[in-house]
Amino acid sequence: MGDQETRAALDRHWAASAAGDQDAEHEIYHDDAVTDYPQSGERIRGRRDLQALRSHHPADLRFTVRRITGGGDLWITEYVMDYDGKPSSVISIMEFRDGKVVHETQYFADPFTPPAWRAQWVEPMPGS
């Protein structure tokens, strides 16, 4: 699978995720894919368990993709996940084999108010 096909698969994955289409969202994963959540120390083994976990999520989730970058077998997506009205920045690192995700690591970061001392060197990010 070339980069254009992988990018198209990622676009379908994130669109399905945003729409709550659990079947389409998980088509991108190998049956034996592993997903890691480092902040909670959890590992999910297999596409079936990953889909079941996400299908039972109790929160109202919304996704806004900011950027997708990558090539070959390694792709990174930056997005904002709105979790019951509270935004969280997320980085998804996906490793592919034979056109399917075999390993994904997701990092979640809550927003915070920037300290005043650095105001002279920064500007607000678009959409912040």
Q: Which of 50, 52, 81 is nearest to 64 (CA)?
A: 81
Question: pLDDT tier at 125 (50, 70, 90 boundaries)?
Answer: confident
Fill in the amino acid letter for 125. Answer: M
Q: What ranges do the domains of the chain cover? A: 3-112
Give the contacts of 121 (CB within 8 A, at least 6 positions apart): none
Of residues 127 and 125, the one with the higher pLDDT is 125
Pick the CATH number of 3-112 from 3.10.450.50, 3.40.50.720, 3.40.50.1100, 3.30.530.20: 3.10.450.50
Give the chain's mean pLDDT: 93
Q: What is the mean pLDDT of residues 92-119?
A: 94
What pLDDT, in 10s, does the model give residues 28-66? 999 999 999 999 999 999 999 999 999 898 888 888 999
- Asked if 90 and 108 touch (Cβ cutoff 8 Å), the reply is yes
What pLDDT, in 10s, does the model give residues 56-77? 988 888 889 999 999 999 999 9
